[in-house]
A and B are shown apart, each in its own frame.
Chain A
Amino acid sequence: MFDLSVITVNAPLLWQGLLVTLLYTVTTIATGLLVGFTIGLAQLSRYPIIKLLGRVYVEFFRNIPLLVILLWSYYALPIFLHVNITKAWAGYLSLSLYIGAFYAEILRAGVEGIDPGQVDAATALGMSASQRMRRVILPQAIRRMLPPLVGQSIIQMKNTTLLSAITVPDLLYQGSYISSFTYKPMEVYTAVAGIFLIILVPLTALARRMEGPHASAH
């Protein structure tokens, strides 16, 4: 039997969890964009050492599972560096740095995907490197980058559920909490899935619409 009262009675807890999930989603995406932009530009640098550092960052965060980064930052930093980081900071930093690596790759691919002939044309018109980037490359690259950026951001919202592993009270944590005292996990996890669908389906649709004109332009 599906007992809906479990959800209605505990709606305030789910609401609190949703707010925490949204808070982490928004703040880590904002920070991740800054990190991604910086690292992405580093990867495009003409200086090999900066390029290498960018690449190392991306490969480091892209190839370690997020849960490991999360647990490592929360538990290993105090052990190895005697930095007693709170779970809120561990969660925020891990998620931001992790998604930053993916955003950086999207930026790099977006810029490198622009026809080199356009760079030559802009150079022929006498534009400097920064002018070429601002006026010719980035406006086109950003249009191409938007769908994968939205896609990655949707994944980021789902990634926040890993925060429950270090007991940050996000939506999944509240779901586990409610099921721990009501003993009705099926109802609770169904509700959690429903909430994610309600928020993410419109965003996915938005990403698809963004892809549409871009795809038809080619």
Chain B
Amino acid sequence: MPVAQGPEKEKEVCSFLKKRTKKLLIPFGCTANKIKVFCFFSSEKKAFLSSFGPTRRAVIGVALALPFAARADDPSSVLAAIRESGVLRAPVMLGEEPGYIKDHVTGDWSGYYVTFLRSIAEDLGVKLQPVETNWGNLAADFQAHKIDVAIGVNPNPQRALVVDYLSVPIFSDAWAVLTQKGAHAATWAELNVPAKRIVVQTGSTMQIVARALLADAQVTPVADRPTALLELQSGRADAVLLSIFDALDVHAHGIGDVSLPRPILQNPATLCVARQPGNAGFINFLTTWVEQQRSLGLAQATLAQAWKARGIDLSILPPDFTF
């Protein structure tokens, strides 16, 4: 078989490298047909390149073209990639009932966050694909392109350095504490004493709340909610910091008492997506979806149904509290 030489060889190498570059860019949100990769050989025009062999010249050409490839990306590429794949991948996790509930028999996922995610998937014309993970691994899931969107996240500027949050929350609840039975915490200041042992979940916004308001208390971060409850049940903690809805759900199982310390701290739950070129259209779609959910009362209706199904009594919330 004759080996291609000269311009033919250059063309062959160039075509190969273009294909590979496109493949490499797809995980960064670029769809293959939208990427323009330039591959050129400069033998006369750029004297410094002529000293390299054809393959090396092509590599340099592609490397120079990469910024253009990224710039050529359009804002709909992430949205288009999700629709092309036919699935919307979103994280689900254990220990986060009633937001995420795993069926004991079938293993199927439900809960109000899953209801929201199914609604998003339906509007996109794709199927929801739950990807099981935990809060601690969420950033890695985004980085590894295992998920497209996460719901129920609290805005956090540190995390906003690597992910894009929606500017509007889907709903807001409040930070509460689950205390030992019979105990009560009227204010945050009451808990902020060295004798109080407070448990929070690692990597959660609870940690930030605790750092700000409970600096004098003994704060113990633990991996997940079951571990936090184990701390409380074994008498090693005085209180667990939880969102009011989660605290009420746990209390409905006969564990501890719920207090809503003053001042009431709002806890906005929103959505976030991986930061990548071409996700502007996806963020815009999600923002529109959230705004519709809120303005038409759809989100509130979904939440109200969830409370009813779980037997959660919201009477602890002040009458003027809206979520």
Chain A positions within 8 Å of B95 at CB level: 176, 180
Given A181-B97, A183-B253, does the pair A167, B225 have CB atoms closer than 8 Å?
Answer: no
B137: chain A residues within 8 A (beta carbon)? 71, 75, 165-166
- CB pair B144 A183 closer than 8 Å: no
* B83 contact set on A, CB distance < 8 A: none
Q: Which of B63-71, B228-236, B259-267 contacts A (4 or more CB under 8 A)?
A: B228-236
Complexed CA–CA distance, A186 and B226 (Å): 10
Contacts of B104 in A (CB 8 A): 10, 13, 181
Shortest beta-carbon distance from B310 to chain A in Å:
11
Residue ID in chain A nearest B228 by CB atoms: A185
Query: Which residues of B86-142 have CB atoms within 8 Å of chain A's CB atoms?
Result: 94-97, 101-102, 104, 132-134, 137, 140-141
Known contacts A10-B104, A75-B144, A167-B134: A185-B94 contact under CB 8 Å: no
List residues of A (71-95) whose CB comes within 8 Å of B's CBs.
71, 74-76, 78-79, 82, 84
- Asked if B291 is at the interface of the complex by the 8 Å CB criterion, the answer is no
Smallest CB-CB separation from A181: which chain B residue? B97
* Binary B-proximity of A162-186 (CB < 8 A = 1, otherwise 0): 0001110000010011011111011
Q: Which residues of chain B come closer than 8 Å to A167, judged between CB atoms? A: 94, 132-134
Known A10-B104, A75-B141, A82-B27: A183·B250 in contact at CB below 8 Å: yes
Q: Is B227 an interface residue (CB 8 A)?
A: yes
Contacts of B80 in A (CB 8 A): none
CB atoms of B132 and A176 under 8 A apart: no
Instruction: Give the residues in chain B near A183, CB-CB below 8 Å.
Output: 226, 229, 250, 253, 255
Residues on B with C-beta less than 8 A from A84 are: 145-146
A10 to B253, CA, bound (A): 17
Structural contact, B227 and A177, CB atoms closer than 8 A: no
* A82-B27, A185-B229 known; A176-B224 Cβ under 8 A: yes
Interface residues of A in 1-49 (CB under 8 A from B): 10, 13
A173, B137: Cα distance in complex, Å:
15
* Residues in chain B near residue A177, CB distance under 8 A: 94, 102
Closest residue on chain A to residue B143 by CB atoms: A79
Report whether A179 and B226 are in contact in the complex, using a CB–CB cutoff of 8 Å: yes
With both chains docked as a complex, state the minimum distance between the C-beta of B12 and any C-beta of chain A, in angstroms.
Answer: 23
Q: Decide if B24 is an interface residue (CB 8 Å cutoff).
A: yes
Q: Which residues of the partner chain B approach A13 to less than 8 Å between Cβ atoms? A: 104
| Distance in angstroms between the alpha carbons of A182 and B137 in the assembled complex | 24
Do residues B230 and A79 form an inter-chain contact, with CB atoms below 8 A? no
Is B233 touching A185 in the complex (CB atoms < 8 A)? yes
* Interchain CB contact under 8 A, B226 and A176: yes
Specify which chain B residues have a CB less than 8 angstroms from the CB of A78 in the assembled complex: 27, 144-146
A79 to B224, CA, bound (A): 26
Closest CB in chain B relative to A29 CB, distance in Å: 26
Q: How far is the CA of A156 from the CA of B144 in the complex (A)?
A: 28
- Which residues does chain B contribute within 8 Å of A74, judged by CB atoms? 144
Which chain A residues lie closer than 8 Å to B27 at the CB level? Answer: 78, 82
Contacts of A75 in B (CB 8 A): 137, 140-141, 143-144, 146
Task: Report A35 CB to chain B, min CB distance, Å.
Answer: 25
Pick the residue among B141, B145, B225, B233 that contacts A180 (CB under 8 A): B225
> Are B227 and A185 in contact (CB-based, < 8 A)?
yes
Q: Which of A79, A84, A176, A185 has the most CB of B within 10 A?
A: A185
Q: Are B24 and A180 in contact (CB under 8 A)?
A: no
Contacts of B224 in A (CB 8 A): 176, 180
B226 contacts across to A, CB distance below 8 A: 176, 179-180, 183, 185
With A167-B134, A176-B94, A176-B95 known, 13 other A-B pairs at CB within 8 A are A10-B104, A75-B140, A75-B144, A75-B146, A84-B145, A84-B146, A166-B137, A167-B133, A180-B224, A183-B253, A185-B227, A185-B230, A186-B234
Q: Can you list 6 residue pairs at the A/B interface with Cβ under 8 Å?
A: A75-B140, A84-B146, A177-B94, A180-B225, A183-B229, A183-B250
